[in-house]
Amino acid sequence: MASLKSLAKETAIYGLSSIVGRFLNYLLVPLYTAKFSVESGGYGFVTNIYSYVALAMVLLTFGMETTFFRFSNKEEENPRDVLSTTLIAVGGVALTFVLLVLTLLNPISSALGYSEHPWYVGQMAICVAVDAFQAILFAYLRYQRRPIKFAALKMLFIVMNIGLNLLYFVAFPYLYSKNPDIIGTIYNPTIGVGYVFTLNLICTLFITIFFIPELRNVSWHFDRALMRRMLSYSWPILILGIAGILNQTADKILFPLISHDDNPYGELAIYGGCSKVAMIMAMITQAFRYAYEPFVFSKSKESDSRETYAKAMRYFVIFTLLAFLTVMASIDILKFVIGRDYWSGLYVIPIVMAAEIMMGIYFNLSFWYKLTDRTIWGAYFSGIGCAALIAINIIFVPRYGFEACAWAGFCGYGIAMLLSYFVGQRYYPINYPLKAIGGYALLAIAIFIVYKYVTFENMWYNVAFRAMFVLIYIGIIVAVEKKNFIHRNVTKNAIAN
């Protein structure tokens, strides 16, 4: 129970930084959707390029975050050697990547559809390389159980990035209209959306400074034998990561290429903007992951570990369903996060959020193959899910537009989740409370149906009516969990006696 409390505490810290940070980042969504019209496709460019960046991040870290945790917790390995070897490997790959992209910048930019803006690609190549190196340092903070510094650096990046964006997209344009000769020395209005990528790079480089204390303590010794062992563990995770990130980004990468719309980047902008509203679910799953990954590996040697994993899954589902209902209850307010031109895509938000819940469940299930060193199974599951997602996009996007993107993600995560559960029960059986989880999911679905079909013309009536059902959900959950708690205690006492 104490370890679960520790997990909850660290999840709260990681979650606070993630949720507050993402909330602050929402300031950029109304800013970008106000500054970049749907017709210009500006926010579509941002969505598309950051999707490529996410894929590049997986390639450059090649599963070494999880591998670092696994090997640092092995009794026969020296954690200092693991850290040093990991940093050198990831840093070397990242540096090689940057040099290749900058050398072949023009042909790469043309292939990606940015022949007129090659520096968009160049800047983000440098940015993602630095991010990959920092990812191992952030993982080291998590390994050391230092959530405060982790959260502080994440928040610093976000606050700095927002501040610079407000300068370059609000303050400087206004000042430039009054004094172009003076402000023109630090601001060029023709750059436009390019500043999004420039400012991201500046903030990423700045954060590296705060890792100097950790870097000074690195031995900088590269253990070739250790690296071979780590790669044998990490390469399936790399395949898993590629498939996993494609589940999140393939639609946004493919959409401009396969859409029959006259303005594909404009449609992508709508989908990207509405998906941002749904990202509160990603905040929760990410916060849980940051604390849960080191927790699982440290807990694996204890006799009651499987019971603990089952409880963690139960509570994860309860709280993600609560988040889903809360977001959908307040959607009439949250929609103002994005510009009115983007509201035509609001109907995909519940689909995207449901997909994120299944992604979180899949992540929780994934530890059976990590703990048993059968990581190749993760590659199989995510690969099959990704193949389904890509196929659905290719077949249905030309006809149904970005709605097909949302359903493709739902199906991809659903398939991976189900495969991981059924195969996992064979190799690493865990008695998950399926009956309770299924009941909670059905309750949430029933409440969502009420949301959908009972509406009022007044926005505040809608919010109040839906909030009542959120409270009903909470009341039912508390009552059921209390009853189960009493039942478990009675059963334990009976066995003890």
pLDDT of residue 203: 94
Is the pLDDT higher at 303 or at 424?
Answer: 424
pLDDT at 266 over 80: yes
48-57, 260-269, 276-285, 488-497: which has the minimum mean pLDDT? Answer: 488-497
Please state, in angstroms and rounded to a whole number, the distance separating the CA atoms of residues 448 and 454.
10
Burial of 237 from C-beta contacts in 10 A (0-12 / 13-18 / 19+): buried
24-28, 196-200, 363-367, 431-435: which has the minimum mean pLDDT? Answer: 24-28
Please state, in angstroms and rounded to a whole number, the distance separating the CA atoms of residues 28 and 25.
5
180-189, 401-410, 436-445: which has the minimum mean pLDDT? Answer: 180-189
Instruction: Please provide the average confidence, as pLDDT, over all residues in the chain.
Output: 84
Q: How confident is the model at residue 16 (pLDDT cuts 50, 70, 90)?
A: low
How close are the terminal C-alpha atoms of the chain, in Å?
22
pLDDT at 497 over 60: no
Give the pTM: 0.75
Q: What is the mean pLDDT of residues 265-279?
A: 85
pLDDT at 450 over 90: yes
Q: Which residue is listed with tokens 């989740």?
A: 417
Report the amino acid identity of residue 268. Answer: L
Q: What is the DSSP letter of 115?
A: T
Please state, in angstroms and rounded to a whole number, the distance separating the CA atoms of residues 400 and 157.
38
Rounded percentage of the chain residues whose pLDDT exceeds 90 = 33
56 in Cβ contact with 241 (< 8 Å): no
Highest mean pLDDT among 68-72, 164-168, 302-306: 164-168
pLDDT at 226 over 60: yes
Please state, in angstroms and rounded to a whole number, the distance separating the CA atoms of residues 349 and 352.
5
pLDDT of residue 165: 93
pLDDT at 487 over 70: no
201-210, 222-231, 337-346: which has the minimum mean pLDDT? Answer: 337-346
Q: What is the mean pLDDT of residues 145-172?
A: 88
Q: What is the pLDDT of residues 55-113, one digit of tens each?
A: 999 999 988 888 888 888 777 778 888 889 999 999 999 999 999 999 999 999 888 87
Please state, in angstroms and rounded to a whole number, the distance separating the CA atoms of residues 291 and 144.
11
Please state, in angstroms and rounded to a whole number, the distance separating the CA atoms of residues 224 and 215.
20
Of 329, 395, 459, 316, the C-alpha closest to 7 is 316
pLDDT of residue 2: 45
Rounded percentage of the chain residues whose pLDDT exceeds 70 = 87
pLDDT at 41 over 50: yes
pLDDT at 1 over 50: no
Q: What is the pLDDT of residues 363-397, one digit of tens each?
A: 888 778 877 778 778 878 888 998 999 999 999 99
Highest mean pLDDT among 72-81, 210-219, 302-311: 210-219
Q: What angle do CA 151, 355, 478 make, to 5 degrees?
A: 70
Q: What is the mean pLDDT of residues 409-427?
A: 91
361 in Cβ contact with 416 (< 8 Å): no
Please state, in angstroms and rounded to a whole number, the distance separating the CA atoms of residues 25 and 454.
32
Q: What is the pLDDT of residues 19-37, one digit of tens each?
A: 666 666 667 878 888 888 7
Please state, in angstroms and rounded to a whole number, the distance separating the CA atoms of residues 298 and 275.
35
Q: What is the mean pLDDT of residues 38-45?
A: 80
Q: What is the DSSP letter of 470?
A: H
